[in-house]
Amino acid sequence: MSGIAVSLGDMTTETKPLRGRICLVAGATRGAGRAIAVQLGAAGATVYATGRTTREKVSEVGRATETIEETAELVTAAGGEGVAVPTDHLDPGQVRALVDRIDRDHGRLDVLVNDVWGGEHLLVFGKRTWENDLAGGLRMLELGVRTHAITSHLALPLLIRDRGGLVVEVTDGTAAYNGTRFRENLYYDLAKNAPIRMAFGLAKELEEYGGTAVAVTPGWLRSEQMLAAFGVTEENWRDATAATPDFAISESPVLVGRAVAALAADPDRHRWTGRSLSSGGLAREYGFTDADGSRPDAWGFIVAGETGKPDPADYR
């Protein structure tokens, strides 16, 4: 276990390892992005939270219940400083303006988290590539790949100004899992494998600047959208396991949030550069838990389920 000297689940104002660090979480409206922003804030960071849904405007995802302003408020309430900046990461002009603002405000960027996605409403399983809607498939690639490329292109010159920067590409699935399994929809498969390769390539490019780039995946994430799809809340999510027993291995967004905060706070994080990591694996490495005190290993459970009927309790 790497020696992070604080408990990421119970930090005080005296033990905030990211105080003074400047972070950008691109795609922080909800789900993993929101939790990552909040946990970076809990560790004392200043976090710029971006996305397209604000209190005045709703993105194509169609959920008005989560906004970037609320995310920024949660960051501040957790002990950091949250700054909401409405940004469409498909628009280079908006991303350039965002980076220029961070530069004016602080003159540095220490952590970049590329979490932009928002393509769940376009995802259809059970159809072959030629049967899927082409416009929807290409839109998934825009949301999950092009946004990450634009944001890295424009933000990395600021991040490399000081040595030791961290880039986190958030995706779905590890390199080991995705590398030998088709994610059932070609467009989705491409959108979720590309960030893994981006992290690998960025690790090579950042090496001379002392930077670290990694891909991080949560397991079966109980995002706001997932909870709504199952008709439950975070308080009663286990009710959904009656119809879907495997949902018992799901994790709250807090776990991946703590995973990224642990990486950012680790002075020896460069040992991970170029690698594909999971929230469950990092929880074991750094010793943190999910919000309920468990340590779910969703990917281990999923792999075991391919040849048997594992008990979710054995993977928590």
Catalytic sites, residue numbers:
188
| Residue 22 bridge partners (DSSP) | 46
User: What CA–CA distance (Å, rounded) separates 44 from 38?
Assistant: 10
Q: Which helix (H) or strand (E) holds 215?
A: strand 212-217
Three-class DSSP category at 210 = coil
User: What CA–CA distance (Å, rounded) separates 120 from 117?
Assistant: 8
Give the number of residues written for the chain: 316
User: What CA–CA distance (Å, rounded) separates 219 from 152?
Assistant: 25
Residue type, 129: T
Phi, psi of 140 (to 5 degrees): -60, -40
How many CB atoms lie under 10 A from the CB of residue 233?
Answer: 12
Q: Enumerate residues 6+ apart whose C-beta is below 8 A from 310.
A: 301, 304
Phi, psi of 127 (to 5 degrees): -125, 145
The sign one gets for the Cα dihedral 297, 298, 304, 310 is: positive
163, exposed or middle or buried, with CB in 10 Å at 0-12, 13-18, 19+? Answer: exposed
Give start and end residues of each alpha helix (H) in the chain. 31-42, 68-78, 92-106, 134-141, 147-159, 175-178, 186-206, 224-230, 253-265, 279-286, 298-304
